[in-house]
Amino acid sequence: MKVFKTSLLLGIIICTVFSCSNDDVATVQEEEEEEVVVTDDTDFVATDWTTDTHSKDADPNFDEVFKDNTVKRLDFVITKERWQTMLDDMTATYGAFGSGGSGGQGLIDTDEDPIFVPGEVFYEGKQWYRVGLRFKGNSSLQSSWQNGILKLSFKLDFDEFEDDYPQIDNQRFYGFKKFSLKNNYDDKSMLREKVATDVFRNAGLVASHTAFYTLYVDYGNGPQYFGLYTLVEEVDGTVLDTQFSDDDGNLYKPDGNAASFANGTFNEDEYVKKTNEDEADFTDVSNLLSILHDSKRTTDAATWRSELDAVFDTDVFLKYLAVNTVIQNWDTYGLMTHNYYLYNNPDNNKLTWIPWDNNESLQTGKRGGALPLNFSSLNASEWPLIGYLYQDTVYKEKYDAYVKEVVDGAFNETTIQALYSSYESLIETYATSEVSGYTFLNNSSEFQSAVNQLRSHVTSRKTAVDNYLQ
């Protein structure tokens, strides 16, 4: 693994600009205690660049990046000054690191993402240059920060700074432009994000690829183990490119009251566009809301279904709903107004549901717990995409069929228990070797206890489905 201490990286940058020998680089490394201010780091040669590893011309290499049977390693090198800028930005938004919260006022509501800085990414002996790196997340980010845990989630964008560094124009990581590197917040098993997306994909739904990675970050004092992470493929990137035949449609990441699709909630600002951002056309989502609440739902159900099916891929949604409710996931539609995408698939001009952010899945969960299979606790008018479809006998029959299909297939008890055993063996050493200040585990036994809870959960869900379908 080729890992540079920050001082050595700065030395290489300086020597690239001013021409010096290898001995000079070593001298810079030996004098790492001295403050080094770099005003120009643009004159460098991307020596590790190849078409397959760095170029936009390469197809995404899923076999390299998203392996299910390997824990891989990423290293970030961020200069001390840039790291401090990232921390200062977090402090300005969320308060002092380790402050324990915002004075009892609850979560701080902000629409601002943390700042990107350029950093070096190392993987399997190769370097990626001036990669855009920033912290990511919402409640999970500020909770980790305020509790003094530096195991924060990251967003990586490999050509974020291409305007500043022409050498990295259209830089890619084995064909991928960007990733989320998730810290497995509130999941002491560190398996939920990975297993849930496996289940969605194995059920035949569009969902991100995921893989386990360890992360080391050198922010001025040498590589620091940040812990075990889950690398997640971005929806507004290769998910659209590879799982749809056309990526030109509108992609939305709804967030806020409008994301419930309750009557009267339509708000363009809350249907956040991730593609076609400059086009002020939201007719696809407004049409969905209008048809969903049309009076024909109760007076002419067949026509209502036909009109709804024309703008919304109800079959995909019902399958998603079956998977999501069988595995349980409280932190998404039905209880929370976020954590999903809608894509207007150009193949059929239908809005298609795409799940996102599954670290809270595979458990009953918070906020009163995940919805029951029959949605008895759901207020249909508040969550009409579930409530109205489940009240329709035709749609309910499809949903019930998918529930059975899920528990017999993608979430089959025997299959999932074997998957838990495989992943547990794969990650245990990396999970239990996390260090204080960079972990959510209080002790290594909490990892095993969390995995045992997942094992009990899958058995309980088989029972719940059997009772529901009888």
Q: What share of residues in the chain are helix, strand, coil (percent, to 5)?
A: 40, 15, 45
Asked whether residue 385 is assigned to any structural domain, the reply reads yes
Same domain, 232 and 271: no
- pLDDT number for residue 106: 58
For the beta sheet containing 251-254, the strands, ordered from the edge strand earlier in sequence to the opposite edge, are 271-273, 251-254, 340-345, 350-355
What's the predicted TM-score (pTM) here?
0.90
Nearest residue to 28 via CA among 43, 3, 7, 4? 7
Asked whether residue 188 is assigned to any structural domain, the reply reads no
Domain hosting residue 460, numbered range: 245-470
- pLDDT number for residue 108: 76
Asked whether residue 202 is assigned to any structural domain, the reply reads no
Same domain, 363 and 250: yes
Same domain, 31 and 153: yes
Beta strands per DSSP E along 237-312: 251-254, 271-273
What is the per-residue pLDDT across 57-88, written as a single tens digit (0 to 9) for each? Answer: 999 999 999 999 999 999 999 999 999 999 99
Structural contact between residues 253 and 341, judged by C-beta atoms closer than 8 angstroms: yes
Same domain, 430 and 405: yes
Domain-ending residue, one of 216, 243, 270: 243
Domain-ending residue, one of 197, 225, 243: 243
Same domain, 11 and 144: yes
- pLDDT number for residue 436: 97
Asked whether residue 201 is assigned to any structural domain, the reply reads no
| 22, 30, 45, 279, 394 from 27: Cα distances, Å | 9, 5, 21, 54, 75
**pLDDT < 50 stretches in the chain:** 1-39, 102-105
- pLDDT number for residue 101: 61
Asked whether residue 389 is assigned to any structural domain, the reply reads yes
Same domain, 237 and 279: no
**Distance separating alpha carbons of residues 184 and 389, to the nearest angstrom:** 33
Same domain, 155 and 27: yes
Same domain, 76 and 157: yes
**Distance separating alpha carbons of residues 118 and 302, to the nearest angstrom:** 55
Burial of 25 per CB tally in 10 Å (0-12, 13-18, 19+): middle
The angle that helices 314-327 and 445-469 make with each other, rounded to 10 degrees, is 120
Could you give the number of structural domains in the chain?
2
* Paired strand residues for 119: 131
Asked whether residue 342 is assigned to any structural domain, the reply reads yes
Same domain, 159 and 266: no
Same domain, 151 and 257: no
- Domain holding 466: CATH number? 1.10.1070
Asked whether residue 191 is assigned to any structural domain, the reply reads no
What is the per-residue pLDDT across 320-340, written as a single tens digit (0 to 9) for each? Answer: 999 999 999 999 999 999 999
